[in-house]
Amino acid sequence: TQLLEQSPQFLSIQEGENLTVYCNSSSVFSSLQWYRQEPGEGPVLLVTVVTGGEVKKLKRLTFQFGDARKDSSLHITAAQPGDTGLYLCAGVETRGYNKLIFGAGTRLAVHP
Amino acid sequence: NAGVTQTPKFQVLKTGQSMTLQCAQDMNHNSMYWYRQDPGMGLRLIYYSASEGTTDKGEVPNGYNVSRLNKREFSLRLESAAPSQTSVYFCASSERTVMNTGELFFGEGSRLTVL
């Protein structure tokens, strides 16, 4: 099974700060998704990246897929308390098993 | 819109008891999934059903069975619960398979404690 490692595990910052979350693997994924999960709820998809080197922006969130499709990053500019949550990356295996492999997640707390 | 509905939301079992988690989706999706979420381990796939009438094992299928009852419903059964199965269980569905970058829609989760 391909593994996805996320870092950092926990992040506690003040409103207005910038941050980057990383998702790394030694294996290649055909695509990668980022989800956000709030307490007591299921994860909700933020973005899917498919092409190596691809950059996607969602308001203050910028997602990048590594050139070799082994890693991805999520950058948040001027974080707000509403960004608080668990951020999960998930990669689609290349072996045709039709499954998403999830990282352990980064728990972000943004304080006013 | 209901989306993906899971029942029950909370359950406490004693070791050795059995139970079934129910999941239904109203989005006419072909694929359905059961995941478990444990602290520090992320979401791990238990079983999935790419389409009605088919089911396949995921990463951690031992101790579980599933039934794709029809296109809408996908249930997860614990035949003899063990403390190691204490977890939060999520059902999800997708219109397309994940190999075609299908988005997963998750239910709110079912929190299971096995004593």
User: What pLDDT does residue B100 have?
Assistant: 59
What are the pLDDT digits (tens) for B53-109? 899 998 899 999 999 989 999 999 999 999 999 999 999 998 876 555 578 999 999
What are the pLDDT digits (tens) for A16-44? 999 999 999 988 888 899 999 998 899 99
State whether B108 and A90 contact (CB < 8 Å): no
Q: Give percent of chain A above pLDDT 90.
A: 78
Residues of A in contact with B40 (CB under 8 A): 9, 104
User: What pLDDT does residue B25 have?
Assistant: 97
Alpha carbon distance B111, B19 (integer Å): 13
User: What pLDDT does residue A92 have?
Assistant: 82
Phi, psi of A81 (to 5 degrees): -55, -30
User: What pLDDT does residue B1 have?
Assistant: 63
State whether A42 and B90 contact (CB < 8 Å): yes
Tell me the DSSP string of A33-89: EEEEE-TTS--EEEEEE-STT-EEEETTEEEEE-TTSSEEEEEESS--GGG-EEEEE
Where are the extended beta strands (E) located within B1-115? Answer: 4-7, 10-13, 19-25, 31-38, 42-49, 56-57, 64-68, 74-78, 87-94, 105-106, 110-114
Alpha carbon distance B12, B83 (integer Å): 11
Identify the closest residue of chain B to A47 by CA–CA distance. B103
Are A43 and A62 a contacting pair, CB within 8 Å?
no
Please compute the mean of the pLDDT values over residues B31-60 and round it to a whole number: 90
Alpha carbon distance A34, A29 (integer Å): 13
User: Confidence band (pLDDT; 50, 70, 90) for B51?
Assistant: confident
CB-nearest partner of B43 from A9, A50, A88: A88
State whether A48 and B101 contact (CB < 8 Å): yes
Mean pLDDT of chain A: 91
Q: Is the pLDDT of residue A1 over 80?
A: no
Bridge partners of B57, per DSSP, are B47
Please compute the mean of the pLDDT values over residues A51-59 and round it to a whole number: 94
A–B CB contacts, 8 A cutoff, strictly below: 64
What are the pLDDT digits (tens) for A73-92? 999 999 999 999 999 999 88
In 3D, which of A8, A6, A12, A9 has the Cα closest to residue A79? A12
User: What pLDDT does residue B106 have?
Assistant: 96
Please compute the mean of the pLDDT values over residues B20-41 and round it to a whole number: 93
SS3 for B98? helix
User: What pLDDT does residue A95 have?
Assistant: 64
State whether A40 and B99 contact (CB < 8 Å): no
Alpha carbon distance B81, B26 (integer Å): 29
